[in-house]
Structure 1
Amino acid sequence: MTSDHPHATITLDQSVALKTAATRLARDFDGVFNAETIERFLHSSYDQFAGHATIANFLPLLAERFARERLQALARVEGLHVDGKPTVLFLCVHNAGRSQMALGFFEHYAGEAAVAWSGGSEPGEQVNPAAIAAMAERGIDIARAYPKPWTDEIVRAADVVITMGCGDACPIFPGKRYEEWVLDDPAGKDVAAVRPVRDEIERRVLDLLAELQVPVQRQPHDPAG
């Protein structure tokens, strides 16, 4: 069975899962976006992962999670959801190491007081296992995270865009605050080599939260402790 759009082939099970996902999204965005917009974002999100997903059964779930993020961003861009929370986007090349650790720390320390997303210019197939292990040492679980691309609405919705090595491939929108964090790429490194990168990211995230006047919800890690 194929979908109504021409890009990716969808099995019967995946089609059923996508219909269920569309129903959930329609409920959650009731009064914000119509069914057509939701379906379009869901299926285009599916296409983003269909070409390189290692486990096809997870495709509808990944598509739903990414579509939800994109719809939340679009609602902010269009002024349909205004909560005054600072919004930050972390970008790197593969969205598998640095940007995922930054997102993990940001959500850990900011809680519900701010919003953050992450993306990559060339998304990898999975999050770096060494990054997952290094973050677990801080009690932060990024094992459920997944590499994903950036999209226009997500970049446009962000107040601050933090880039980490994606260079000219990173999206530039006039009038937006950009900041480049020069950090070693953890790709191919073991946990011991990733720890210094992780600690520098933690320090920078805490500095960013202070700049944005976002109260830290948890006690920062004490390296001397």
Structure 2
Amino acid sequence: MTATPSVLFVCVHNAGRSQMAAGWLRHLAGDRVEVRSAGSAPADRINPVAVQAMAEAGIDITAEQPKRLDHAAVEVSDVIITMGCGDTCPIFPGKRYEDWKLDDPAGQGIDAVRPIRDAIRTRIEQLLTELDIRSS
């Protein structure tokens, strides 16, 4: 692992789960972790309900845009966390991979997305502990 660990979050559309996870990690770790997110089939825009849920927690992800997953992002990341992207994520030796089973917020209302947001925060806090990085 590099001096400043790099984490890549991957989901299919890079519009909900992976964007919320990236937002939480940036918020809780600041510049102590390099954060990336991408999708195997990126959407045109971030899920507005995910944006709303994160805003309720004081985190603004409105400036983010879904990005296509490429090999370079995986290659330069220390930790790759997938969220329902199946077999589309390339595997590189020596990387740490995790698959987080989380409901997809696509098409869900705010009441369904809040628990997803909160579950992601819990996982991010655990990840920070494992990486030996204190939350801000």
Band of TM-score, shorter chain: over 0.9
User: Once the 2 structures are TM-superposed, how far is the Cα of residue 214 of structure 1 from its aligned partner?
Assistant: 1.1
User: Once the 2 structures are TM-superposed, how far is the Cα of residue 151 of structure 1 from its aligned partner?
Assistant: 1.7
Indicate conservation of the 8 Å contact 1:100/1:118, yes or no. Answer: yes
Runs of 4+ in 1 over 6 A off after TM superposition: none
Equivalent residue pairs, number: 135
Indicate conservation of the 8 Å contact 1:113/1:215, yes or no. Answer: no
List runs of 5+ in structure 1 lacking aligned partners. 1-82, 218-225
Looking at structure 2, the residues matched to 215 and 112 of structure 1 have their Cα atoms a distance apart, in angstroms, of 12
Q: Partner letter of residue 29 of structure 2?
A: A
Equivalent residue number for residue 198 of structure 1: 117
Equivalent residue number for residue 99 of structure 1: 18
Q: Please, which of 161, 177, 181 is the counterpart of residue 80 of structure 2?
A: 161
Q: Partner letter of residue 201 of structure 1?
A: I
Equivalent residue number for residue 40 of structure 1: none
What SS does structure 2 have at the residue aligned with 1:90? strand
Equivalent residue number for residue 135 of structure 2: 216
Equivalent residue number for residue 50 of structure 2: 131
List runs of 5+ in structure 2 lacking aligned partners. none
Given the alignment of the two structures, is residue 89 of structure 1 paired with residue 8 of structure 2, yes or no?
Answer: yes
Looking at structure 2, the residues matched to 103 and 210 of structure 1 have their Cα atoms a distance apart, in angstroms, of 16
Q: Please, which of 112, 116, 120 is the counterpart of residue 35 of structure 2?
A: 116
More strand by share: 2
Looking at structure 1, the residues matched to 16 and 131 of structure 2 have their Cα atoms a distance apart, in angstroms, of 24
Q: Partner letter of residue 66 of structure 2?
A: P
What SS does structure 1 have at the residue aligned with 2:44? coil
Looking at structure 2, the residues matched to 114 and 175 of structure 1 have their Cα atoms a distance apart, in angstroms, of 18
TM-score norm. by structure 1 comes to 0.59
Cα deviations by residue, 1:137-169 (Å, 9 ceiling, x for unpaired)? 000000111100122221111110000000111
Looking at structure 2, the residues matched to 120 and 93 of structure 1 have their Cα atoms a distance apart, in angstroms, of 5
Larger Rg: 1
RMSD of equivalent CA atoms? 0.9
TM-score norm. by structure 2 comes to 0.97
Looking at structure 2, the residues matched to 196 and 176 of structure 1 have their Cα atoms a distance apart, in angstroms, of 29
User: Once the 2 structures are TM-superposed, how far is the Cα of residue 196 of structure 1 from its aligned partner?
Assistant: 0.5
User: Once the 2 structures are TM-superposed, how far is the Cα of residue 175 of structure 1 from its aligned partner?
Assistant: 2.1
Q: Partner letter of residue 104 of structure 1?
A: G
Looking at structure 2, the residues matched to 171 and 131 of structure 1 have their Cα atoms a distance apart, in angstroms, of 26
Q: Partner letter of residue 99 of structure 2?
A: E
Q: Which is bigger in relative contact order (C-alpha 8 A, separation at least 6)?
A: 2
Given the alignment of the two structures, is residue 207 of structure 1 paired with residue 126 of structure 2, yes or no?
Answer: yes
Q: Partner letter of residue 92 of structure 2?
A: F
